Amino acid sequence: MSLIAKMRPEPGLRVLVTAGASGIGKAIAEAFLEADARVHLCDVSQAAIDTFLELHPDVGASLADVSDESAVDRMFEEVQGRLGGLDVLINNAGIAGPTGKVDEIDPDEWRRTIDIDLTGQFLVVRRAVPLLRAAGGGLIVNISSVAGRLGYALRTPYAAAKWGVVGLTASLAKEVGPDGIRVNAILPGIVRGERIDKVIAARAKSLGRPHGEVEQTYLEKVSLRRMVEPDDVAAMALLLAAPAGQNISGQALSVCGNVETL
Which pLDDT value is given to residue 80? 97
Domains defined along the chain, listed by start: 3-190+229-255 (3.40.50.720)
Active site residue 158: yes
List of residues 6+ apart from 112 with CB closer than 8 A: 67, 95, 97
What does the DSSP assignment read for 112-137? Answer: HHHIIIIIHHHHHHHHHHHHHHHTT-
* pLDDT tens, position by position, 69-107: 999 999 999 999 999 999 999 999 999 999 999 999 999
Do residues 227 and 258 make contact, with C-beta atoms less than 8 angstroms apart? no
DSSP code, position 178: G
Which pLDDT value is given to residue 34? 98
* Count of C-beta atoms within a 10 Å radius of residue 261: 10
Which pLDDT value is given to residue 41? 98
CA dihedral 42, 43, 48, 53 (to 10 degrees): 10
CA distances from 26 to 14, 87, 143, 232 (A): 16, 18, 13, 12
Do residues 238 and 17 make contact, with C-beta atoms less than 8 angstroms apart? no
β-strand pairing of 88-91 with 60-63:
unpaired
Which pLDDT value is given to residue 252? 98
Give the angle subtended at the CA of 213 by the CAs of 212 and 215, to the nearest 5°.
65
Which pLDDT value is given to residue 211? 84
* Count of C-beta atoms within a 10 Å radius of residue 192: 14
Positions of the chain with pLDDT under 70: none
SS3 (DSSP) at 185: strand
Residue of 25, 158, 215, 238 marked catalytic: 158
Give the angle subtended at the CA of 196 by the CAs of 29 and 149, to the nearest 5°.
85
Global pTM value: 0.94
β-strand pairing of 14-17 with 252-255:
unpaired
Q: Looking at 21-92, which runs of residues are DSSP E strands?
A: 38-43, 60-63, 88-91
- The CA distance from 110 to 127, in Å, is 25
